[in-house]
Amino acid sequence: MLDIESIQGTDFKIYQSLSGEQILVSSFTVACGEARLFGTGSISYTRSGVKLIESKKEQEFQYQQGSAGGNAMRFVCRRIGARGW
């Protein structure tokens, strides 16, 4: 789920439930003009909010229409008025 309150320019967060016991918060940034999506880190929490694992690994993801990241990217790029979105 895209956290629309976390959007700052081209940076945003996506929340995902993992196995019903954990929540994964992934941070992203996009380059709308180049249709590029970059993961900038993630944190895994228990349902009660205890941090389990934090990763600051950065990587590029292939834009995939219909995926959580792709849908979030489209939303963010449209929100900032990027051409072609």
Confidence of residue 74 (pLDDT cuts 50, 70, 90): very high
- Predicted local confidence at residue 79, as pLDDT: 96
Domain architecture of the chain: domains with CATH: 2-79 (2.20.25)
pTM of the full predicted structure?
A: 0.89
By C-alpha distance, which of 6, 38, 9 is closest to 25?
A: 6
The C-alpha angle with vertex 56 and arms to 19 and 76, in degrees rounded to 5, equals 80
Q: Contact at 8 Å (CB) between 2 and 25?
A: no
Could you read off the pLDDT of 11-55 as tens digits, one per residue? 999 999 988 889 999 999 999 999 999 999 999 999 999 999 999
